[in-house]
Amino acid sequence: MVPILLLGVPGAGKGTQAKRLVLRYNIPHLSTGDMFREMANSGSPLGVQVLADMRAGNLVSDATVCELVALRLQREDCRQGYILDGFPRTLAQAQWLQGFWASSLPLGGNPIVIYLTVGYNDLYRRLLGRRSCSQCGRIYNEFTQPPRQAGLCDLDQTPLVQRKDDDPAVIRERLSAYEEQTLPLVEFFRKQARLLEVSGTEPVDRVSEKIFATIENAGRENASRANAKGEPA
Ligand code: AMP
């Protein structure tokens, strides 16, 4: 399995698709946002700084992010592939990742970048309506994907919570950080990797099917290339 990278504006559905990819391929989901939310709750000096950045809708420093991701990628469970969600978000992070891949992936093991697109009009509704289960992490939307019982998770009936940064003023900052710093990565990866562009406004299942098909085609191509060279796939 090659690494899978989910790229897209906050609210495009990266977290939802990542959870489906985990179920299908049984590889870890690395969400830097989740890692930072955990760090922010720890109360450590770094956690306090991270919390301040998140509350303001700013990005955490590249050095902190790359160090965190480097440590996580060294763990045993990433050897069979992984899903990156919310990383990289700046050109410096993307260049770091490119270097990491160049030294750690077998030749021809091209990563797959899934770029989820969503129009800005839909985004506010998605972000303002987003709720998640604090127990199992399942994501809902009050407007587009409500739970069966208002405010409660369908799977375990735990009360749903709203992220603190899904607030109108912070959303504006997050979207402008995205436009300025993350959007240029689309062109970066279009040149450097296999990039699939999918409309995140299509039904969730349809988006997943397209993503699975791309990943599985790429897997077959990698395997036949490796076979032709007598290398392990
Ligand atoms: P997310 O859950 O991916 O929307 O991330 C929530 C917040 O965590 C962001 O608004 C940033 O403050 C921080 N964050 C997550 N990933 C990164 C990253 N790759 N680079 C910098 N900051 C990040």
DSSP state of 10: T
Residue type, 10: P
State the distance from the centre of ligand 1 to the C-alpha of 10, rounded, in angstroms.
9
> Which residues form the domain of 176?
7-27+116-207
Q: Is 8 left (phi over 0), alpha (psi -120 to 50) or beta?
A: left
Q: Is residue 147 part of a domain?
A: yes
68 Cβ closer than 6 Å to some ligand 1 atom: no
| Ligand 1 site, residue 65, Cβ cutoff 6 A | yes
Within a domain: 153? yes
DSSP helix/strand/coil, 112: strand
113 CA distance to ligand 1 middle (Å): 18
Domain assignment of residue 106, yes or no:
no
Hey, what are 62's tokens? 């590249």
- Bridge-based pairing of strands 194-199 and 4-8 is unpaired
Q: Is residue 167 part of a domain?
A: yes
pLDDT tens-digit series, residues 91-138: 999 999 999 998 887 665 678 999 999 988 888 889 999 999 999 999
Structural domain contains residue 42: no
Give the pLDDT band (50/70/90) at residue 159. very high
Which among 37, 125, 163, 210 is annotated as catalytic? Answer: 163
- Residue-wise pLDDT for 176-216, tens only, equals 999 999 999 999 999 887 899 999 888 899 999 999 999 99
Residue 126 lies in a domain: yes
Ligand 1, atom 19, residue with closest C-alpha: 87
Instruction: List Cα–Cα distances, 63 to 45, 59, 129, 163, in angstroms.
Output: 16, 11, 32, 25
Spatial CB neighbours of 142, under 8 Å, sequence gap ≥ 6: 129, 130, 131
Q: Confirm whether 201 is domain-assigned.
A: yes
Query: Active-site residue 163, yes or no?
Result: yes
Domain count, the chain: 1
**DSSP string covering 22-41:** HHHH---EEEHHHHHHHHHH
> Which of 34, 35, 60 should be mutated for ligand 1, with most atoms under 8 A from CB?
60
Domain of 124, CATH number, reads 3.40.50.300
Span of 29-43, 76-90, 213-227 with lowest mean pLDDT: 213-227
Q: Decide if 155 is inside a domain.
A: yes
Catalytic hit among 20, 89, 126, 138: 89
